[in-house]
Amino acid sequence: MNRTFPLALLLLMATVMRSFAQPLLQQNFNASTSVGDYFNLATPTTGQFNSIAGTAGAGALVTNIASEAGLGTSLVLSRAGAGSVSVVRTTDLAASVGAVVVQMRFTPGQIKAAANSVLFFQLGTNFSAISQAETGGQVAAQIAVDLRDVDTAGDLWGWTGSPATFNGFAANAFPLVTWAVNNSGGPVSYASPNGGNLTLADGKFDLWVGDSGLAVRVFNGSANLNPGIPLRNFKLVSNAGNASYGLDEFSITKVAAEAQPTLLFNATPRSAST
């Protein structure tokens, strides 16, 4: 007897990668006016760093919580002379971190002199808590801030971190900064600040400045310093340049790939006989 089987004869099992996000660290600095409430050297929570500190050196250095119009309160870091200042998370954000999105509102609020690479943002593993930029193989990826003191046009700031150079933004803008970094071993997708999802290749980073719909991608698929290094630690550190910096609405979100089995079916009926 002949009979026709309906559709849905399995041909194979395929694996597709579905991205998902997991918050690792979040802080808007509105809970307290004391800097000490936002760090814990031994056992930081998901809202704390291991250290927010500075060394006075020969110049003024201040870290405090200040009010920003329309933004509540923010962490302010002021550096001058031979001092240094840092915000550090050395306790692992998670046991395995291959790709993250770091997001914050950030700006140099008072630029006293032009300078290059005056403040570093770094991701990697085995970081120290001292107010000094990490070097060597433990740094997975980094970007740095450049300052431009322009008397006639106002102060500007921009980023370095790849073959691309300075991109200017107003010093008092306090824009949203989105830094996507991938050392996971394969491509991942992340949420663009302009909406939708973007794919980021392994060993690369993207950097956006600006709010939804108006964000500018300063770096597009730039190379990480050391591909394959886990992104367990974070450091913000400045030991050069005379300026004040504001940090608010800070978060680090893990972006990972989850394997999902998908059945692929033959769309052509097939006849069989018994």
DSSP codes of every residue in 120-155:
EEEEESS--SSSS---STTEEEEEEEEEE--TTT--
Residue 50 has pLDDT above 90, yes or no: yes
Q: For position 21, what pLDDT does the model report?
A: 77
DSSP category for residue 270: E
CA distances from 69 to 43, 73, 85 (A): 32, 8, 24
User: pLDDT: is 114 or 138 the higher one?
Assistant: 138
Cα separation of 174 and 211, whole Å? 10
Position of tokens 């106002």? 154
pLDDT in tens, 240-268: 888 889 999 999 999 976 444 444 444 34
pLDDT in tens, 221-237: 999 999 999 999 999 99
User: pLDDT: is 273 or 160 the higher one?
Assistant: 160
Which residues make Cβ contacts (< 8 Å) with residue 228, sequence separation at least 6? 183, 185, 203
Give the mean model confidence (pLDDT) for residues 38-66.
88
pLDDT in tens, 202-220: 999 999 999 878 898 999 9
DSSP category for residue 49: B
147 forms beta bridges with 115, 157
Percent of the chain at pLDDT > 70 equals 79
pLDDT in tens, 77-130: 988 888 889 999 999 999 999 999 999 999 888 788 888 889 999 999 999 998
Question: 272 falls in which pLDDT band (50, 70, 90)?
Answer: very low
Residue 58 has pLDDT above 90, yes or no: no
Question: 71 falls in which pLDDT band (50, 70, 90)?
Answer: low
Question: CB of 168 within 8 A of CB of 148?
Answer: yes
Cα separation of 188 and 199, whole Å? 6
Question: CB of 161 within 8 A of CB of 180?
Answer: no
DSSP category for residue 269: -
Residue 76 has pLDDT above 60, yes or no: yes
pLDDT in tens, 143-189: 999 888 766 556 788 888 766 556 778 777 788 999 999 999 999 99
pLDDT in tens, 186-199: 999 999 999 999 99
- In the Cβ-directed half-sphere of 261, how many Cα atoms lie within 13 Å? 5
DSSP category for residue 168: -
CA distances from 23 to 26, 98, 99, 121, 252 (A): 7, 14, 12, 19, 6
Q: What is the pTM of this model?
A: 0.84
Cα separation of 103 and 209, whole Å? 10
